[in-house]
Structure 1
Amino acid sequence: MARLFLILLLMLPLLLAGCKSDERILEKLGLVQTASYDLAENNRIKVTSCVPVIDPDSSVRRELLSTVSDSIKEARIMFSRQTDLTVVSGQLRDALFGLKLAKAGLGDYIDTLLRDPSIALGVKVTIINGDAGEILAKDYKPHTDTGRYINHLLEKEAAGNSIPNTTLYEFSRDYNDDGIDPVAPIVKDSGDKAIIDGIALFQEDRYRMKIPAQDGIFFGLFRDDLRQGEAALHLGEEDGRQVVVMFSSLLNSRKVKVHRLGPGRFKVELLANIQGSVLEYTGHHYLNKAGVRQQLERDIADVIMAKAKEMVSQMQQHNVDSLGIGIQIRNTLSYKEWNQMNWREVYPQVEIECKAKVTIKDYGKYM
């Protein structure tokens, strides 16, 4: 027993030394929360990382690290030469990609981030209309941390379904699925603010077109079910004045019908069953009359269907299947039939019809 106690006593310093090598002191860690990636010259990549400064006595609230390298992981090694902190990625929340890089293709960079076990699958993927590093380095008063400001902006808009909440997992899932293409929100610098610029639509991993910010809710209605949202709809002129309806508290149930017209020919019906509240109506009719409400429902549906038709036409012109039409058609075919089909050639010829049924749940307290 005495010999066993002596052996354990001698091994104790070795165990303590092993713990020392794994020690992580918070004040000595550079916890990257937002990182940006831009295409540099000679197909290199400019990486900028934002590290919060946790020293309460410091007047600076963040430290920016930037370098140009051949890979994301090499950039992290180069960051270690610029700071006295140990740079780690375990707290990464947002990955911002410049538009030039998005046009060249994000597949390899998304894959690199996914391979890092310290990076969560829920990291947001955002496209910057411009240079991502420049917008991350800019100060927007009264916000002390631009990365956190953009993160909160994205969360708020995604909650209203005007933009998709795209994560590394969701982008990679849609990129590797042969029946749908990825999407991501776009942010741009507007001077004293960062603003939502729309929705980026990809063909595989390459940016092809965007949906304007004001039309984001219409895109969402035909891409998936919605449990929240609002839209300002212009219904034309009445007595020389624009008639505007503010349609809020949207609930949407999307259904899809696929009709096979012949070999390689399909018709797809996207049906949006929408319910909502009218918070503002600038027309001259009284909504307490059932006939007026029913006509307004048809007018709102017509505007939504016209917007959807325009968007679908543009998506087919750019050959981006952002609504997942391929998934719906694939589900009606055998494995062999789908594999023998060249979906990129078939998709632009598919007849896609967007239909909307609108129900006004309520129209305010006084009418």
Structure 2
Amino acid sequence: MGKLRFVAVVLLLLLNGCKKDERVLEDLGMVQTSSYDLLENKKLKVVSSVPVIDPDSPVHRELLTAESDSIKEARLLFSRQTDLLVVSGQLRDTLFGTTLAQAGIGDHIDTLLRDPSTALGVRVTIVEGDAGELLSKNFKPHSDTGRYITHLLEKESVSNSIPTTTLYEFSRDYNDDGIDAAAPIVKDAGTKVNIEGIALFKMDKYVMKIPAEDGIIFALFREDLNQGEMTVNLGEENGKPVIVMYSSLSSKRKVKVHKLGEGRFKADISISVQGSVLEYTGEEKLSDPGTRHKLEEEISKSVTDTAQEIIRQMQQVKTDALGIGRYVRNSLSYREWTSLNWREVYPQIEVECHAKVIIKDYGKYS
């Protein structure tokens, strides 16, 4: 009888404990997406989206807004607006408005990373315009704009048209003197959210945008790829545009640095790309080996020309988001590298891009 009474007491305690945990969970405001904007008075506008877990609630999220001097202060202000205990352990995305990104986000990235409850894999995204306004807006049929943006970024990053930039990756590149960070850009397009391209940074400041259609070209010259899609416009033929849709591509990148003396360098970036042609609007027959070889050369030239223009623009604004500085650094001694003002040398170096494109297969095209 005594054993039965003991077991009953233990079960009662366990049930009470489960009930207590349930109440605690319901009292938590688990932030999933936060936005940050710089106001004219130099204060920070922070908007956080907290999912509403009540299935009977007519709304699916609660928005918390605060103007503060720091991210940590904003969280304290949030506590005065809700009956929930606001926590950031479920944070998935951070959205930075254009004005703040141009002013610099390094300190804010560092603040987020110092929070032990914030995961290193939280995404960093730039919003063209006001990030808070975008996060606060509702886009039908999506009930939660934060999740909508998360899924959009995840889908696009699979094809490598935009980088998957996390807090850790941004901080790593920001603190590396041989490469600059990059992050995806999104924009409110009225009835939906659009991927606008890639934001390139000089240190922690947003200085240049690569259009979405050129995102894959940037990715090919930044790192090796195992998956991706690329559309190439080869001009017109008999008044008709010639478009090639290149899919299932994989690539390898090689960078060689040549020291020319007196702080002068030349960098050769070579990529080898192979993939499948899913669409071809030209009039040639892809079954002919000569035609395929000619098409490979035309695609290679188009990719090379686009890459050269991207690098020219990058050198103008002094952003080394391709990481050429890493290879220059590896070719020098520590003393030579530390005495070199890479930020000033970089715009003057000669960079040559080389692309070799191979068509693995062309499906049912004749």
Give me the whole-angstrom Cα distance separating, in 2, the residues matched to 1:117 and 1:22.
22
Which residue in 2 is equivalent to 1:315? 314
1:290-325 residue CA offsets vs partner (Å, 9 max, x unmatched): 111000000000000010010000000000000001
Residue 56 of structure 1 and its aligned partner are, at CA, apart by 1.1
**What are the within-5 Å matches in structure 2 for residues 39-54 of structure 1?**
39-54=38-53
8 A contact 2:196–2:211 mirrored in 1:
yes
Structure 2 CA distance for partners of 1:87 and 1:268, relative to 1, 3 Å = same
Give me the whole-angstrom Cα distance separating, in 2, the residues matched to 1:349 and 1:323.
15
Give me the whole-angstrom Cα distance separating, in 1, the residues matched to 2:279 and 2:56.
49
Which residue in 1 is equivalent to 2:136? 137
Which residue in 1 is equivalent to 2:221? 222
SS of 1:43's equivalent in the other structure is coil
Structure 1 unaligned regions, length at least 5: 1-19
1:147-170 residue CA offsets vs partner (Å, 9 max, x unmatched): 000000001111100000000000
8 A contact 2:285–2:365 mirrored in 1:
no
Give me the whole-angstrom Cα distance separating, in 2, the residues matched to 1:192 and 1:21.
42
Residue 41 of structure 1 and its aligned partner are, at CA, apart by 2.7
TM-score by length of 2: 0.94
- Aligned pair 1:100/2:74, yes or no? no
- Aligned pair 1:181/2:180, yes or no? yes
SS of 1:42's equivalent in the other structure is coil
Give me the whole-angstrom Cα distance separating, in 2, the residues matched to 1:303 and 1:157.
23
1:68-95 residue CA offsets vs partner (Å, 9 max, x unmatched): 0111011000000000000000000000
Residue 21 of structure 1 and its aligned partner are, at CA, apart by 11
**What are the within-5 Å matches in structure 2 for residues 139-154 of structure 1?**
139-154=138-153
Which residue in 1 is equivalent to 2:156? 157
Give me the whole-angstrom Cα distance separating, in 1, the residues matched to 2:178 and 2:51.
40
1:102 partner amino acid: A
Give me the whole-angstrom Cα distance separating, in 2, the residues matched to 1:271 and 1:186.
27
2:307 partner amino acid: A
- Aligned pair 1:364/2:360, yes or no? no
- Aligned pair 1:198/2:202, yes or no? no
Structure 2 CA distance for partners of 1:106 and 1:61, relative to 1, 3 Å = same
Question: CA RMSD for the aligned pairs?
Answer: 1.6
- Aligned pair 1:264/2:263, yes or no? yes
Structure 2 unaligned regions, length at least 5: 1-18
- Aligned pair 1:351/2:340, yes or no? no
SS of 1:25's equivalent in the other structure is helix
Structure 2 CA distance for partners of 1:362 and 1:237, relative to 1, 3 Å = same
Which structure 1 residue ranges, 4+ long, deviate > 4 Å from structure 2?
20-24
Which residue in 1 is equivalent to 2:166? 167
1:134-185 residue CA offsets vs partner (Å, 9 max, x unmatched): 0000001110000000000001111100000000000000000000001100
Residue 59 of structure 1 and its aligned partner are, at CA, apart by 1.0
Which residue in 2 is equivalent to 1:298? 297
Structure 2 CA distance for partners of 1:136 and 1:85, relative to 1, 3 Å = same
Give me the whole-angstrom Cα distance separating, in 1, the residues matched to 2:364 and 2:47.
51
Give me the whole-angstrom Cα distance separating, in 2, the residues matched to 1:221 and 1:254.
7
Deviates more, 1:22-31 or 1:54-63: 22-31
**What are the within-5 Å matches in structure 2 for residues 231-250 of structure 1?**
231-250=230-249
Give me the whole-angstrom Cα distance separating, in 2, the residues matched to 1:197 and 1:270.
26
Give me the whole-angstrom Cα distance separating, in 2, the residues matched to 1:135 and 1:313.
32
Give me the whole-angstrom Cα distance separating, in 2, the residues matched to 1:51 and 1:212.
32
1:85 partner amino acid: L
2:132 partner amino acid: G
- Aligned pair 1:120/2:119, yes or no? yes
1:39-59 residue CA offsets vs partner (Å, 9 max, x unmatched): 013211000000000011111
Give me the whole-angstrom Cα distance separating, in 1, the residues matched to 2:39 and 2:238.
55
Give me the whole-angstrom Cα distance separating, in 2, the residues matched to 1:252 and 1:212.
21
8 A contact 2:37–2:130 mirrored in 1:
yes
Give me the whole-angstrom Cα distance separating, in 2, the residues matched to 1:147 and 1:277.
34
1:349 partner amino acid: Q
Which residue in 2 is equivalent to 1:3? none
SS of 1:41's equivalent in the other structure is coil
Identity, % of aligned positions: 67
Residue 23 of structure 1 and its aligned partner are, at CA, apart by 9.6
Which residue in 1 is equivalent to 2:9? none
Give me the whole-angstrom Cα distance separating, in 1, the residues matched to 2:49 and 2:21.
24
TM-score by length of 1: 0.93
1:333 partner amino acid: L
Give me the whole-angstrom Cα distance separating, in 2, the residues matched to 1:21 and 1:336.
61
